[in-house]
Amino acid sequence: MEIKVIKNILDACEGQAQQIRDHLKEKHVLMVNLIGSPGSGKTTLLEKTLATLKGRFSIAVIEGDVATDKDAVRLQKYDIPIALINTDGACHLEPITIRKALDEFDLDRTDIIFVENVGNLVCPAEFDIGENCKIAISSATEGHDKPEKYPLLFNECRLVVLNKIDLIQFTDFDKDYYISSVKKLNGRVPVLEVSCRAEQGLEGWIDWLADSVSEVKKS
Amino acid sequence: MSRVTRVHLKIGNLRQIVPEMFQFAFDTAKKGTIAESASVSMTFVPAKAVCRTCGREFIVEDNFFICEGCSGIDVDVIEGKELLIDTMEGE
Determine the pLDDT at residue A82.
97
Question: Would the CB atoms of A7 and B85 count as touching at under 8 Å?
Answer: yes
Task: Give the angle subtended at the CA of B56 by the CAs of A146 and B77, to the nearest 5°.
Answer: 40
pLDDT tens column, A72-115: 999 999 999 999 999 998 999 999 999 999 999 999 999 999 99
Go through B7-43 and write b for each residue having 16 or more CB atoms within 10 A of its CB, e for each that does not: bbbebbbbbebeeeeeeeebeeebeeeebeebebebe
Determine the pLDDT at residue A211.
98
- A residues 152..211 contacting B (CB < 8 A): 152, 155, 183-188
Q: Please list every residue in chain B whose beta carbon sits closer than 8 Å to the beta carbon of residue A123.
A: 16
Q: Is the pLDDT of residue A219 over 90?
A: no
pLDDT tens column, A160-175: 999 999 999 999 999 9
C-alpha separations of B5 from A5, B2, B44 in Å: 14, 10, 21
pLDDT tens column, A168-205: 999 999 999 999 999 999 999 999 999 999 999 999 99
Domain residue limits, chain B: 4-90
**Any A CB within 8 A of B17 CB:** no
What CATH number is given for B4-90 in this structure? Answer: 3.30.2320.80
Q: In what order do the strands lie in the sheet with B57-59?
A: B57-59, B48-51, B75-79
pLDDT tens column, B29-69: 999 999 999 999 999 999 999 999 999 999 999 999 999 99
Q: Are A203 and A161 in contact (CB under 8 A)?
A: no
Determine the pLDDT at residue A25.
98
For a pLDDT cut of 90, what percent of chain A falls above it? 96
Single-letter amino acid, residue A218: K
Considering only the beta carbons, identify the residue of B9, B16, B84 that sits closest to A126.
B16
Determine the pLDDT at residue B1.
87
Considering only the beta carbons, identify the residue of B74, B77, B84 that sits closest to A6.
B84
Question: d(Cα A18, Cα A30) in Å, to the nearest integer?
Answer: 14
| Superfamily covering domain A11-218 | P-loop containing nucleotide triphosphate hydrolases (3.40.50.300)
Q: Is the pLDDT of residue B85 over 90?
A: yes
Determine the pLDDT at residue A2.
92
As to burial, measured by CB atoms within 10 angstroms (0-12 exposed, 13-18 middle, 19+ buried), residue A160 is buried
Determine the pLDDT at residue A217.
95
For a pLDDT cut of 70, what percent of chain A falls above it? 100
Give the list of residues 6+ apart from residue A12 with CB closer than 8 angstroms, or none.
none
Determine the pLDDT at residue B36.
96
Question: Would the CB atoms of A186 and B65 count as touching at under 8 Å?
Answer: yes
- B residues 52..91 contacting A (CB < 8 A): 63-66, 72-75, 77, 82-91
Considering only the beta carbons, identify the residue of B65, B66, B90 that sits closest to A1.
B90
Under the banding of pLDDT at 50, 70 and 90, the label for residue B27 is very high
CA distance B35 to chain A (A): 14
In chain B, alpha helices (H): 19-29
Q: Is the pLDDT of residue B3 over 90?
A: yes
Question: Would the CB atoms of A187 and B85 count as touching at under 8 Å?
Answer: no
DSSP state of A218: H
Determine the pLDDT at residue B54.
98
Helix (H) or strand (E) holding A42: helix A42-53
Give the start-end residues of each E strand in chain B.
Answer: 4-12, 39-45, 48-51, 57-59, 75-79, 83-90
Determine the pLDDT at residue B50.
98
Give the list of residues 6+ apart from residue A82 with CB closer than 8 angstroms, or none.
A60, A61, A62, A63, A72, A75, A76
CA distance B27 to chain A (A): 16
The region, left, alpha or beta by phi > 0 then psi within -120 to 50, assigned to residue B47 is beta
Considering only the beta carbons, identify the residue of B66, B87, B91 that sits closest to A4.
B87
